[in-house]
Amino acid sequence: MLLDLHFPPSLHSELCETVGLELEPSPEAEQLSGARRQRDRRMRELVLTAYEYRCAFCGYDGRIGAVPVGLEAAHVRWWAFGGPDDVENGLCLCSLHHKLFDRGVLGVGDGRRILVSQGFVGHSPAAHQHVIALAGRPLVGPQPGTRPVAAAHRDWHAHQVFHGEPRPATAA
């Protein structure tokens, strides 16, 4: 219940592992969950459709058969902090970029440009290609006719989650 109230689901297992806990819903937590607001199960499909099943940061669009693999609907303003389950508060992100977004390595700035924290350190070609090179690039999507992430949610993420100052845009 504490995890649901204070952290996005993408961080739950990592936090539990760090403190040596296993995730097991208790009867008390299940009983209390009925009194809390419920997530809209349609959000995932609405967000993935809005971004045409492509990661908004890198364009990844993997599938196995007709099933998308490694694509997730990320809340910009975390659900646990009042973020609504709607497209204006969502991004379609690949698993890697969702984790980095929730950890404050990545963000979304004005002009729908990708922010990369100066605090992120990675020396490998993969770290450069998949993270550092994103600095300043425009988001992929959403499709025309879909409202982009609302400024209020973007600002919340920038002040509450994103770490430090953004890196300058990288040369293409």
> Nearest 5°: phi and psi at 118?
-65, -20
pLDDT digits (tens, 9 = 90+) for 121-171: 999 999 999 999 999 999 999 999 999 999 999 999 999 999 999 999 875
pLDDT score for 29:
45
Give me the domain span that covers residue 123: 37-160
Name the burial class of residue 41, with classes exposed (0-12), middle (13-18) and buried (19+) by CB atoms within 10 angstroms of its CB: exposed
- Whether residue 122 sits in one domain with residue 83: yes
**pLDDT at residue 76 greater than cutoff 60:** yes
Q: CB under 8 Å, gap of 24 or more: what pairs does 32-36 form? A: 32/1, 33/1, 33/4, 36/4
Lowest-confidence region among 29-38, 100-109, 121-130, 134-143: 29-38
pLDDT score for 127:
96
- Whether residue 54 sits in one domain with residue 123: yes
- Whether residue 82 sits in one domain with residue 154: yes
- Asked whether residue 167 is domain-assigned, the answer is no
- Whether residue 150 sits in one domain with residue 66: yes
- Whether residue 42 sits in one domain with residue 31: no
* Domain count across the chain: 2
- Whether residue 21 sits in one domain with residue 83: no
- Asked whether residue 50 is domain-assigned, the answer is yes
- Whether residue 41 sits in one domain with residue 31: no
pLDDT score for 14:
59
